[in-house]
Chains A and B, each alone.
Chain A
Amino acid sequence: MDITGLTLAETLKALKNKEFSLEELNKAYFVRIDKYNTELNAYLNINRGNSKIPAAIKDVISTRGIPTTAASKILEGFIPPYDATVIGKLTEQGIGVIGKTNCDEFAMGSSGENSAFGPTKNPWDLNKVPGGSSSGSAAAVSADLCVFALGSDTGGSIRQPASLCGIVGLKPTYGRVSRYGLMAMASSLDQIGPITKSVEDATLVLDWISGSDGYDSNVSKKFTYSEDKLKSGVKGLKVGVPKEYFAVPAGRQGGGLDPKIKKVIEEAIKKLEELGAEIVEVSLPHSKYALAAYYIIVPSEVSSNMARYDGIRFGLGRENIGAEVKRRIMLGTFALSSGYYDEYYTKAARIRTLVKQDFEKAFDPSTGSGVDVIVGPVSPTTAWNIGEKIDDPLTMYLQDVYTISANLAGIPGLSVPCGFAHAPDGAGLLPVGLQILGKQWDEETILRVGYAYEQSTDWRKEKPSLSSRTCPP
């Protein structure tokens, strides 16, 4: 039996039916980790003592007694004295931490290359990035090195690597999951969410980790899994397609949507139509300004949140901070400095209102199209070569153009595998993700659409063929 190929739902069922034991389950995953982790660099720390259902946890989430570094030299050797709320909630469900996954330093990046401990490789092509910032979590799920993983998403850091690695990633509504124990990046945008092998798995994990703990005052409503609702199909649902995501270049200096991705996404939309959904064009006119606003708001909040890593309250000296984190601290410090605050931070916060209103109009039947979900691409291209964009921060930022709006508006977003396209350089076929955005607090409908799409296609059955690329023993 291919134990490591099973989804979380299948694993739970098999354990219940005593098809294998927890010991056998962990052993199977440890064997695979030992075989592939050296070349993938998905895990920074492996928890050999794990005896529960193995989940991989992004290294920005506190795990009691297990080293947690945020992939930064400044936290090298840090061992958290407490568990994040999400870890406590998973423990109650019989889930354990099999390892801490690599990521961009303090979750800042779109490729995983900003880790102080080396980049993670994309399991589909070891020369390509897995996306970021939850790079190791996505690679670990894609290569079957864990049953599922947790990531964090501030501007696409769950959805984009899930898309580039051919798996499922869910960014919940802002305020759905407690961030207690998550190292804060941009507090008005950060959310923790699941990276999984199936849409049903993401639904299950969201049920487990959501809800208030009294430590994150933004959290109010718990999400509850309902199999009937998840599996009720898309017949009668209105699916919005934002014309801006397909028609115009992604940004003033961006290359826009790769035509190869466009084709794959259009086919996925056609599939939803075949399944009974009504496809409606919508407009999100301010989405073209979202990226610029995001790169004021995020660095500003970063510069404030990173002040605690000063060698006194947390971590070693500030000379240990990596290049991208420094860049954002610099940009944010500038934007918040005397005389510039209103021109930058407040201006960006006003743009944020407009981006949020665009979505509200699209979802509201009385003022706009009244769509149930909005679909489009996750990333303008497939995975790119390691090293290709690392020296040009602006080009790297433009990779987030389709994902950041959801964070600005606080709405949930899902990435579901929807096919393959040739890499930008013409190399082999790489995974493409379909993004499904929903109303605030309405994960239920995006998961429902994602599930219907997933079950009507075979993309979830495709796995990277790592076997041909194993390192010699």
Chain B
Amino acid sequence: MRKPKIIGFFDSKKVARLANLPLTSEEEEKYSEQLSKILDYIEQLNKVDTKDVEPTFNVSGQANVMRKDTMDVCLPQEDALSNAPQKKNAVPARLAAKRAVRQGFFVTKGVFKV
């Protein structure tokens, strides 16, 4: 782990961009301060020698759980789309002409910049 000096100024702007989080400049400042403090607390882990210790990522003792590849009951399309704000028969007229909103789709804001 790096010394707190390096991470003392927690780069909120950069991390927020990675996390896809819209933050105000006040929030950026507040999180820089609070998270630096938390990371400083976490520094104490450096006192523990873990050179020969295997990491634990799961404690259930289960590994590669298999099941038969069979059909199961699944949600009907109508239920699966029940929370979509815009979907077939419920889209504005200007979008209704586009192909993607015909049947069983839902409309979202754009993902890729063209």
Per-residue interface assignment for chain A, residues 336 to 360, with 1 indicating a CB less than 8 Å from any chain B CB and 0 otherwise: 0100000110111111111010000
Residues of the A chain whose Cβ atoms lie less than 8 Å from the Cβ of B56? 349-350, 352-353, 356
Majority secondary structure of chain A interface residues (helix, strand, loop or mixed): helix
Q: CB < 8 Å: which of B50, B60, B83 contacts A220?
A: B60
A386-438: which residues lie under 8 A (CB-CB) from chain B?
A: 393-394, 397, 408-410
Determine the residue in chain A with the shortest Cβ distance to B58: A188
Residues of the A chain whose Cβ atoms lie less than 8 Å from the Cβ of B2? 343
Give, as a whole number of angstroms, the nearest-CB distance from A305 to chain B: 12
What separation, in Å, do the CA atoms of A289 and B104 have in the docked complex?
50
Determine the residue in chain A with the shortest Cβ distance to B7: A334
B97-111: which residues lie under 8 A (CB-CB) from chain A?
A: 108-109, 111
Chain B interface bracket (under 10, 10 to 19, 20 to 34, 35 or more): 35 or more
Residues of the B chain whose Cβ atoms lie less than 8 Å from the Cβ of A346? 55
Question: Does A292 contact B67, Cβ atoms closer than 8 Å?
Answer: no
B69 sits at the interface (CB 8 A) = no
Determine the residue in chain A with the shortest Cβ distance to B54: A353
In this complex, which of B10, B15, B54, B67 has the most chain A Cβ atoms within 10 angstroms of its Cβ? B15
Residues of the A chain whose Cβ atoms lie less than 8 Å from the Cβ of B44? 252, 289, 292
B1-54: which residues lie under 8 A (CB-CB) from chain A?
A: 1-2, 10, 12, 15-16, 18-23, 27, 31, 34-35, 37-39, 41-42, 44-45, 47-48, 50, 53-54
Question: Does A218 contact B60, Cβ atoms closer than 8 Å?
Answer: yes
Determine the residue in chain A with the shortest Cβ distance to B20: A318
Residues of the A chain whose Cβ atoms lie less than 8 Å from the Cβ of B54? 350, 353
A326 sits at the interface (CB 8 A) = yes
What separation, in Å, do the CA atoms of A326 and B30 have in the docked complex?
12
What separation, in Å, do the CA atoms of A337 and B80 have in the docked complex?
33
In this complex, which of B18, B23, B75, B109 has the most chain A Cβ atoms within 10 angstroms of its Cβ? B18
Question: Does A333 contact B15, Cβ atoms closer than 8 Å?
Answer: yes
A217 sits at the interface (CB 8 A) = yes
Majority secondary structure of chain B interface residues (helix, strand, loop or mixed): loop
Question: Does B61 contact A292, Cβ atoms closer than 8 Å?
Answer: no
Per-residue interface assignment for chain A, residues 168 to 197, with 1 indicating a CB less than 8 Å from any chain B CB and 0 otherwise: 000000110000000000001000000000
Determine the residue in chain A with the shortest Cβ distance to B23: A326
Residues of the B chain whose Cβ atoms lie less than 8 Å from the Cβ of A293? 45
What separation, in Å, do the CA atoms of A286 and B49 have in the docked complex?
11
A50-58, A98-106, A307-315: which lies at the B interface?
A307-315
B82 sits at the interface (CB 8 A) = yes
Residues of the A chain whose Cβ atoms lie less than 8 Å from the Cβ of B39? 331, 334
B71 sits at the interface (CB 8 A) = no
Q: CB < 8 Å: which of A330, A344, A349 contacts B16?
A: A330
Question: Does B37 contact A330, Cβ atoms closer than 8 Å?
Answer: no
Give, as a whole number of angstroms, the nearest-CB distance from B98 to chain A: 17
B114 sits at the interface (CB 8 A) = no
Give, as a whole number of angstroms, the nearest-CB distance from B63 to chain A: 9
Q: CB < 8 Å: which of B16, B53, B59, B75 contacts A82?
A: B75
A303 sits at the interface (CB 8 A) = yes
B65 sits at the interface (CB 8 A) = yes
Give, as a whole number of angstroms, the nearest-CB distance from B104 to chain A: 14
B112 sits at the interface (CB 8 A) = no
Give, as a whole number of angstroms, the nearest-CB distance from A329 to chain B: 5
What separation, in Å, do the CA atoms of A220 and B50 have in the docked complex?
31
Assess A81 versus B75: contact at CB under 8 Å? Given A252-B41, A318-B22, A351-B45: yes
Question: Does A188 contact B59, Cβ atoms closer than 8 Å?
Answer: yes
Question: Does B42 contact A295, Cβ atoms closer than 8 Å?
Answer: yes
What separation, in Å, do the CA atoms of A470 and B47 have in the docked complex?
52
What separation, in Å, do the CA atoms of A289 and B49 have in the docked complex?
12
A17 sits at the interface (CB 8 A) = no
Q: CB < 8 Å: which of A217, A219, A292, A312 contacts B45?
A: A292
Residues of the B chain whose Cβ atoms lie less than 8 Å from the Cβ of A217? 62, 65
Question: Does B12 contact A330, Cβ atoms closer than 8 Å?
Answer: yes
What separation, in Å, do the CA atoms of A330 and B18 have in the docked complex?
9
Residues of the B chain whose Cβ atoms lie less than 8 Å from the Cβ of A397? 38
A9 sits at the interface (CB 8 A) = no
Question: Does B50 contact A351, Cβ atoms closer than 8 Å?
Answer: yes
What separation, in Å, do the CA atoms of A68 and B27 have in the docked complex?
28
Assess A318 versus B21: contact at CB under 8 Å? Given A220-B60, A296-B42: yes
A294-332: which residues lie under 8 A (CB-CB) from chain B?
A: 295-296, 303, 307, 310-312, 317-319, 321, 326-327, 329-331
Q: Given contacts A311-B109, A326-B23, could you give 18 more A-B pairs where the C-beta distance is less than 8 Å?
A: A78-B83, A82-B79, A214-B67, A220-B60, A251-B41, A330-B19, A330-B31, A344-B1, A347-B1, A348-B45, A349-B55, A349-B56, A351-B48, A352-B55, A353-B53, A353-B55, A393-B34, A409-B59
Cross-chain pairs A/B with CB under 8 angstroms, 11 sampled: A188-B58, A289-B44, A289-B48, A293-B45, A295-B41, A296-B42, A296-B45, A307-B20, A311-B108, A327-B31, A394-B37
